[in-house]
Amino acid sequence: MAKVKSLADLKRMKEDLQSKMDLREKSNAPDSMVQIKVGMATCGIASGAKEVMNFFIEESAKRGIAAVVTQTGCMGYCYAEPTIEVKMPGKDPIVFGDVDVKKADEIIEKYVKHGELVDGIIPVNYNTID
């Protein structure tokens, strides 16, 4: 945690923490928000998933995107780590592979903001059980 050297530092820290608390409170209704899950198993972390997750957390807040960014375990796509799953409200989730910070920025700008599909989608090869 950074040292507080002035009143401005304290106010900035309060705003940062308040925005994080707002996000936690809003996460009680995740279906109405963009949900981003970052694969954080050993293979994902070794491939850079921690940086990708931090990028999604910071940038979604900066860009005013109502999103819940969480970590998950292995998604079974070790060959394509870091992997993320993005679920837009009312749509099926999409899994993206080989996501670095540059790709994460593209996913936010094109898919999350405008609904445009981007390269790197891992095809669904399973059925979910309801």
What pLDDT does residue 43 have? 92
Determine the structural domain holding residue 84 and report its residue range: 34-122
pLDDT per residue of the chain (130 residues) written in tens, 0 to 9: 567 788 888 888 888 777 666 655 565 666 778 999 999 999 999 999 999 999 999 998 888 888 889 999 998 899 999 999 999 998 999 999 999 999 999 999 999 999 999 999 988 776 666 6
Q: Distance between the two ends of the chain, CA-based, in angstroms?
A: 43
Residue 7: inside a domain: no
Number of domains, the chain: 1
Q: What is the CATH number of the domain that holds 44?
A: 3.40.30.10
User: Does a structural domain hold residue 48?
Assistant: yes
pLDDT at 127: 66
Per the domain annotation, does 3 fall within a domain?
A: no
What is this structure's pTM?
0.76
Give the Cα separation of 129 and 94 in Å (integer): 17
- Closest residue by Cα to residue 100 from 78, 84, 114: 84
Which H or E element spans position 12?
Answer: helix 7-26
pLDDT of residue 24: 58
pLDDT score, position 130:
66
Torsion of CA 80, 84, 88, 92, to 10 degrees: 50
The three-class DSSP label of residue 79 is helix
**Amino acid letter at 45?**
I
Say if 4 falls within a structural domain. no
